[in-house]
Amino acid sequence: MYEGAVQELIDELGRLPGVGPKSAQRIAFYILESDGEDTKRLVNAIVTVKERVKFCTICGNVAEQETCGICHDPRRDPSAICVVEESKDVIAVERTRSFRGKYHVLGGSINPIAGIGPEQLRIRELLSRLSDDQVQEIIIATDPNLEGEATATYLVRMLKTIGIKVTRLASGLPVGGDLEYADEITLGRAFEGRRTVS
């Protein structure tokens, strides 16, 4: 334990997701040893992002305007919406260059232990986007974990009644992985999603 300001900085850094006590201490001492200008740039970047960045009024992605660049882009296909949990998932899908539709960011996943139910997610906003008959397919791209599966199952049940095609991203074995290290669920999904080769 350190005294005063140093311990406060370590405590605050430790509250960040993915930053444990040792990492928080390392970052705190990096900041202490850094040039004053580097520290000011970091502080200014944090303040600026909090002041400028908001969430797109259409899809929920991060944006500096009312709508994000993807929703604003007329070249995007409005007939397909990819539903993701967080804004970082939009970037992951965009990196593949395989999807040219639009997105909907839920703002998390169903997690009863953390007190997050469907009401806390942007599901109502998704349903309101489906009222104009432009959307032909909803692609559910939630994480392949317990919370993501619960969210996907909830969305599938709800969207089936609307009559729009609902698909789920395939999951299975990663490229470069070994069968012996795959868990049962991943291996089972790989069998379910197998395709014919010619």
How far is the C-alpha of 108 from the C-alpha of 121, rounded, in Å?
A: 6
CA contacts within 13 A on the Cβ side of 177: 12
Which residues, including other chains, have CB under 8 Å from residue 56's CB and lie 6 or more apart?
A: 62, 63, 66, 67, 68, 71, 105
Range in 55-64, 114-123, 134-143, 180-189 the model is least confident about: 180-189
Query: Is residue 198 predicted with pLDDT exceeding 90?
Result: no
Mean pLDDT on 96-118: 95
The proportion of the chain whose per-residue pLDDT surpasses 90, expressed as a percent, equals 77
**pTM recorded for the entire structure:** 0.82
150: its two tokens: 């619960």
> What's the confidence (pLDDT) of residue 186?
78
pLDDT band, residue 25 (cuts 50/70/90): very high
Query: CB–CB of 128/60 below 8 Å?
Result: no
Q: What mean pLDDT, rounded, does the chain reach?
A: 92
Residue 85's Cα: distance from chain center in Å? 4
pLDDT at 171: 79
Residue 173 has pLDDT above 90, yes or no: no
pLDDT at 42: 94
